[in-house]
């Protein structure tokens, strides 16, 4: 059993099983994979939205609530006057049994009390714009029971920010209709909307409520809601105020008897379906044709079971592209299941909606979404392709990019603007990784325009490849006095704001007034450029365009010489130059002497490869930054605020960018160790931030043990080891790169599948099944000489292959590959 008192991994079922509802923090799962999404915690908390958590929120959620995580997809049980919820909240009655299983795209909560068992199984079926809850109520006692079940959801007026701020309007606009077992939330449908929310039950109901005041009360809380405690639905019709959806189900169950039915929460948008009918069928009566068809579909026997089976098939297929058997249980479990699963969430959500991202603050990030693709391209090529083109279209023709865009409109967010001088380079990484995986070089010719140009105005130039060239040219052009890239509002480290010297508490650190004419430079961007340029040069070479390849390689050489001549501090690479031309991340600084990002990117970009600096830089990371909970971002932490450095110095020592353990950038060092052939170190570092490895210290760690968190408190913080901001972090994609390509060494390449593992010396070997360009490679890696790295022989179906790149095989082929290290 698990060392974690709150739960355990069920690896066979690919579920995390939570055995107590009072987890150290709400432990979250996501429902949905395409366009309809739900956040669902282990107490059934959370909300749903279609495509965009800001602009199409369907159900309400109050962040920063007391208690934490209140409001969600609640079921109330009234069993002979005793009221409880299977998810424990909000009533928090003592349960005889509670279990929550977070699976891939679904969550099952099952609880029992006084001989009654209720199971609530929730998912969003693939391809559908709706959420299902399959509910089973069973009498496990020996007397007949007549329980009542009440569903409860609070509707959101779609635009989430307005919904939670503009009550002078919103309290007067709420409208609903009830037809049979279906509740229609139709606020604003009369004016500018062509969509509504449907909340229906597949079984006959004995009553309903749509007014929160009637169901809960004015002075009551959700834990003492009037209707479930009275056991009598009010059949209330909301007019204004706060519309909710609640069905009353009256059951009669003999001992041993059970009944199963379902609830459907659907987003119905007349512009999405082939609907040609009238908007209204009578004054104020909405046309319910589409909604009725949905209820009918899922009321048919077996329809809900089929939805869950489809979801399972969907995930079996996604995960089948990479599966490993290895001596390390953490790396195996995370790589096979949870890490890939988290990559789907970051691909879909970017940094928009989690327990820590409210869905209204940040949309899709340019830099973030490009990196998220690195962990996603192997799963669903078409979606990766579409995303790359969407992101590229938010770049401006001079090379700068909108830092964020809204998923619904695909338009850049003007408030955050651009001028983060690393953004554009990540597009090269995502594009090249997509081409290596899929072989689809045609994407380079896809027209995608620039955000500041009319589409089609100069169409022959507005291809994706043109964007990549624009990106390289931009960094080469925008350089400072030392020849290093200018940093703009920030580089990857959003909080290194060397050009925005903010002294005014009411402004954003990133966008506060620029200090005019500043020439602050970033070593990290230089390293990223070395990497990106090598990728683009390699791509050109693959396309047979040697002159272009050489041209980009020459730019790279220029940058490499600059890095080696101005950015080496003696034992590590410096981090930046500030607006006054003073160094950051050097022995010369009293605080912030050594930073992680420039070590990672210099090494990955190929700096220090021939002169020993790469190894020395990583050894310095080990000496100054590494801890058992991961690598802190810099040392010593800043003890006071420096306007000239920005937000990084605003955080208390040991958290976030001020010497916190920012898991995302740890992965670049992991890859660095793999590059240098240090497999033992790579795995030790991998373990230091691996959530599955945190179960023994869960009371300190607190966050979900099945997904990465953005940050763990560093050694300067009083809560060293406490994780925060789980789920939406670039760590997901990058760790999948570390484990699948660095440690297990399975690297998609233009001409085939390269195998170049870097493993602990003690490992006898491992096995990987990898689907690549339509063929399946069953790879066995043997390590008889107990080395970390170095492929000495490769056979494919018994035939020796020269080198370590597996050839591209006809689609459908299954090949047996044996790789020997030595």
How many other CB atoms sit within 10 Å of the CB of residue 281?
12
**Token pair 């990223």: residue:** 528
* Residue whose CB is less far from ligand GLC, 217 or 643: 643
* Residue whose CB is less far from ligand GLC, 29 or 370: 370
* Residue whose CB is less far from ligand GLC, 351 or 770: 351
- At residue 687, what are phi and psi to the nearest 5 degrees? -65, -30
Q: State CA 225 to chain mean position distance.
A: 34
* Residue whose CB is less far from ligand GLC, 77 or 689: 689
CB of 733 to ligand GLC, least distance (A): 12
CB of 725 to ligand GLC, least distance (A): 8
With H, G, I as helix, E, B as strand and everything else as coil, classify residue 597: helix
CB of 351 to ligand GLC, least distance (A): 5
CB of 367 to ligand GLC, least distance (A): 5
Residue from 90, 92, 136 nearest 116 by CA: 136
With H, G, I as helix, E, B as strand and everything else as coil, classify residue 239: strand
From CA 577, how far away is CA 647, in angstroms rounded? 16
* Residue whose CB is less far from ligand GLC, 586 or 710: 710
Order of strands, sheet of 176-179, starting from the edge strand that comes earlier in the sequence: 7-10, 15-18, 97-102, 106-113, 116-123, 130-139, 258-269, 195-201, 182-185, 176-179
* Residue whose CB is less far from ligand GLC, 608 or 660: 660
CB of 361 to ligand GLC, least distance (A): 8
Residue from 236, 199, 202 nearest 217 by CA: 236
Q: State CA 479 to chain mean position distance.
A: 33
CB of 495 to ligand GLC, least distance (A): 5
CB of 710 to ligand GLC, least distance (A): 6
Q: Which two tokens stand for residue 399?
A: 């090379």
* Residue whose CB is less far from ligand GLC, 403 or 613: 403
Farthest CA pair distance, the chain: 84
Contact residues for ligand GLC, defined by CB under 6 A: 351, 365, 367-368, 492-495, 510, 647, 656-657, 710, 729-730
Q: Which two tokens stand for residue 673?
A: 């160790």
Contacts (Cβ under 8 Å, ≥6 apart) of 117: 97, 110, 111, 136, 137, 138, 140, 258
From CA 710, how far away is CA 293, in angstroms rounded? 42
* Residue whose CB is less far from ligand GLC, 495 or 732: 495
From CA 593, how far away is CA 473, in angstroms rounded? 31
From CA 507, how far away is CA 656, in angstroms rounded? 19
With H, G, I as helix, E, B as strand and everything else as coil, classify residue 348: helix
CA distances from 346 to 95, 353, 448, 509, 730 (A): 34, 10, 23, 25, 8
- At residue 420, what are phi and psi to the nearest 5 degrees? -100, 110
CB of 404 to ligand GLC, least distance (A): 9
* Residue whose CB is less far from ligand GLC, 368 or 521: 368
Q: State CA 197 to chain mean position distance.
A: 26
From CA 43, how far away is CA 223, in angstroms rounded? 13
Per-residue burial over 636-655, b = 16 or more CB atoms within 10 Å of its CB, e = otherwise = bbbeeeebbbbbbbbbbbbb
Contacts (Cβ under 8 Å, ≥6 apart) of 224: 91, 217
Position with the least CB separation from ligand GLC: 494
Q: Which of 69, 423, 491, 494 is catalytic?
A: 494
Residue 494 annotated as catalytic:
yes
CB of 357 to ligand GLC, least distance (A): 9
Q: Which residues participate in catalysis according to the annotation?
A: 494
């Amino acid at each position: 059993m698990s060392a974690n008192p709150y739960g355990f991994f069920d690896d066979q079922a690919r579920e995390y099983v939570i055995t107590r509802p009072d987890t150290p923090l709400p432990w979250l799962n996501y429902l949905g994979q395409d366009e309809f999404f739900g956040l669902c915690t282990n107490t059934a908390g959370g909300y749903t939205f279609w495509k965009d958590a800001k602009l199409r929120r369907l159900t309400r959620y109050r962040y920063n609530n007391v208690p934490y995580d209140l409001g969600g997809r609640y079921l109330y049980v009234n069993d002979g006057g005793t009221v409880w919820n299977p998810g424990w909240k909000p009533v928090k009655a003592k349960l005889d049994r509670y279990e929550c299983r977070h699976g891939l795209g679904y969550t099952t909560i099952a609880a029992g009390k006084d001989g009654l068992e209720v199971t609530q199984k929730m998912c969003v079926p693939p391809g559908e714009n709706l959420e299902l809850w399959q509910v089973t109520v069973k009498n496990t006692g020996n007397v007949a029971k007549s329980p009542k079940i009440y569903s409860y959801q609070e509707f959101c007026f779609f635009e989430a920010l307005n919904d939670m701020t503009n009550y002078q309007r919103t309290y007067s606009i709420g409208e609903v209709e009830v037809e049979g077992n279906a509740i229609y939330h139709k606020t604003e449908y009369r004016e500018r909307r062509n969509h509504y929310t449907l909340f229906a039950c597949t079984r006959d109901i004995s009553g309903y409520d749509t007014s929160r005041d009637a169901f809960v009360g004015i002075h009551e809380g959700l834990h003492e809601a009037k209707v479930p405690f009275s056991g009598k639905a009010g059949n209330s019709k909301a007019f204004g105020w706060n519309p909710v959806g609640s069905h009353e189900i009256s059951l009669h169950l003999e001992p041993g008897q059970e009944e199963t039915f379902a609830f459907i929460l659907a987003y119905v948008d007349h512009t999405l379906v082939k609907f040609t009918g009238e908007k209204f069928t009578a004054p104020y009566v909405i046309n319910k044709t589409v909604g009725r068809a949905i209820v009918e579909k899922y009321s048919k026997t077996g329809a809900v079971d089929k939805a869950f089976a489809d979801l399972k098939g969907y995930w079996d297929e996604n995960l089948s592209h990479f599966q490993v058997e290895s001596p390390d249980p953490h790396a195996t479990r995370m790589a096979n299941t949870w890490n890939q699963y988290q990559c789907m969430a970051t691909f879909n959500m970017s940094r928009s909606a989690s327990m820590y991202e409210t869905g209204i603050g940040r949309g899709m990030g340019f830099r973030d979404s490009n990196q998220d693709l690195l962990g996603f391209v192997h799963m669903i090529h078409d979606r990766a392709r579409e995303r790359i083109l969407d992101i590229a279209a938010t770049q401006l023709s001079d090379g700068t990019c909108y830092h964020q865009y809204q998923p619904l409109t695909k338009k850049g967010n003007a408030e955050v603007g651009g001028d983060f001088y690393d953004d554009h380079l990540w597009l090269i990484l995502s594009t090249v990784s997509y081409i290596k995986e899929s072989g689809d070089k045609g994407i380079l010719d896809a027209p995608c325009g620039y955000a500041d140009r009319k589409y089609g105005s100069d169409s022959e130039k507005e291809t994706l490849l043109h964007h990549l060239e624009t990106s390289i040219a931009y960094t080469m052009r925008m350089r400072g006095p030392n020849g290093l890239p200018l940093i703009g509002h920030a580089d990857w480290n959003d909080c290194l704001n060397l050009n925005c010297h903010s002294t005014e508490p009411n402004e954003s650190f990133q966008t506060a007034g620029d200090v005019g004419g500043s020439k602050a430079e970033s070593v990290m961007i230089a390293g990223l450029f070395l990497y990106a340029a090598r990728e683009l040069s390699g791509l050109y070479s693959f396309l047979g365009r040697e002159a272009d390849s050489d041209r980009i390689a020459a730019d790279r050489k220029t940058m490499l010489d600059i890095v080696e001549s101005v950015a080496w501090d003696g034992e590590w690479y410096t981090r930046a130059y500030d607006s006054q031309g003073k160094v950051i991340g050097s022995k010369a600084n009293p605080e912030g002497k050594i930073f992680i990002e420039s070590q990672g990117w210099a090494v990955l970009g190929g700096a220090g490869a021939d002169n020993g600096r790469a190894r020395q830089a990583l050894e310095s990371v080990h000496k100054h930054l590494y801890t058992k909970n991961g690598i802190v971002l810099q040392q010593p932490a800043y003890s006071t605020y420096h306007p000239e450095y920005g937000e990084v110095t605003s955080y208390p020592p040991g958290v976030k960018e001020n010497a916190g353990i920012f898991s995302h950038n740890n992965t670049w060092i992991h890859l660095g160790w793999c590059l240098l052939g240090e497999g033992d170190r790579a795995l030790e570092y991998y373990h230091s931030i691996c959530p599955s490895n945190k179960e023994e210290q869960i009371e300190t760690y607190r966050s979900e043990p099945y997904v990465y968190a953005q940050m763990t408190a560093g050694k300067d913080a009083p809560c060293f080891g406490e994780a925060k901001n789980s789920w939406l972090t670039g760590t997901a994609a990058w760790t999948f790169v570390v484990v699948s390509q660095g440690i297990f060494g399975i690297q998609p390449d233009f001409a085939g599948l390269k195998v170049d593992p870097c493993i602990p010396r003690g490992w006898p070997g491992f096995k990987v099944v990898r689907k690549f360009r339509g063929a399946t490679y069953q790879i066995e890696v043997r390590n008889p000489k107990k080395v970390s790295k170095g492929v000495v022989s490769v056979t494919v179906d018994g035939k020796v292959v020269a080198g370590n790149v597996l050839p591209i095989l006809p689609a459908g082929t299954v090949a047996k590959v044996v790789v020997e290290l030595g």
